[in-house]
Amino acid sequence: DAGVIQSPRHEVTEMGQEVTLRCKPISGHNSLFWYRQTMMRGLELLIYFNNNVPIDDSGMPEDRFSAKMPNASFSTLKIQPSEPRDSAVYFCASSFRGANNNEQFFGPGTRLTVL
Amino acid sequence: AQKITQTQPGMFVQEKEAVTLDCTYDTSDQSYGLFWYKQPSSGEMIFLIYQGSYDEQNATEGRYSLNFQKARKSANLVISASQLGDSAMYFCAMRALLYTDRGSTLGRLYFGRGTQLTVWP
């Protein structure tokens, strides 16, 4: 089992550019989560999907952020246009909704730096 | 609103000793789950232990145990026989129900701000 796969692992971009983060959940998992981690705000959920459908996107900061899950094995988080305050580590996590403990398996994260 | 509080920004423990990391939570839901994750300096999030709100027994996983006191709304993590490799940031988290117009479903994970544990020889 490869675990949750995220790409890229590191991204450095200039303010105003579009950034796309990618996630491949664990095969068979039906829930997918996008988190952002910063020193100031800690870990915060941006959005999550059940069976490819967005369930709770109340954590998405503003319209510059969008997330899609076109199928069960792929999701993207897009920031357009990016700003320096978006610099953070972005985690994708997946879980199986019927699992007894609902453990979320985290990917390695994407460290985003916006200059 | 859901809220997780970890009051210890940093903790120090000597190798082979036990340590307790505090976590309190605030929820009006009856059904919820409590989690602990470990984040070493390499950055990945590692699941440690889970406790369901209806579980009567405290959860245990190897050297980790969760001291669940429902009336006090606390879910402290106990690490026994600390090892140098236990040095990391530890996050407490809670997952409660999300209520929608179609009923309830499992909601998001709410995380505390974390406790940095340092194990010294």
- What is the percent of chain B where pLDDT is above 90? 74
Write the Ramachandran bin of B2: left for phi over 0, alpha for psi from -120 to 50, otherwise beta.
beta
- Work out the mean pLDDT of chain A and round it to a whole number: 92
Kindly list the residues from chain B whose CB atom is less than 8 angstroms away from the CB atom of residue A104: 35, 47, 109
Distance CA B36, CA B48 (A): 6
Q: Do B105 and A50 touch (CB under 8 A)?
A: yes
- Provide CB contacts within 8 A for B44, sequence distance 6+: A106, A108, A109
**Chain A nearest CA to B106, separation (Å):** 8
Kindly list the residues from chain A whose CB atom is less than 8 angstroms away from the CB atom of residue B6: none
Q: What is the mean pLDDT of residues B96-112?
A: 73
Return the pLDDT at A104. 87
Nearest CA-CA partner of A102 in B63, B96, B101, B5: B96
Q: Is the pLDDT of residue B1 over 60?
A: no
Nearest CA-CA partner of B40 in B84, B2, B71: B84
pLDDT band at A83 (very low <50, low <70, confident <90, very high): very high
pLDDT band at B104 (very low <50, low <70, confident <90, very high): low
Return the pLDDT at B109. 84
Distance CA B98, CA B77 (A): 26
Return the pLDDT at B67. 96
pLDDT digits (tens, 9 = 90+) for A34-75: 999 999 989 999 999 989 999 888 889 889 999 999 999 999
Return the pLDDT at B70. 94
Nearest CA-CA partner of B76 in B46, B117, B118, B108: B117
Return the pLDDT at B105. 64
pLDDT digits (tens, 9 = 90+) for B7-55: 999 999 999 999 999 999 998 888 889 999 999 999 999 999 999 898 8
Q: Most A CBs within 10 Å: which of B5, B109, B116, as the mutation test of the A interface?
A: B109
Distance CA A16, CA A88 (A): 16
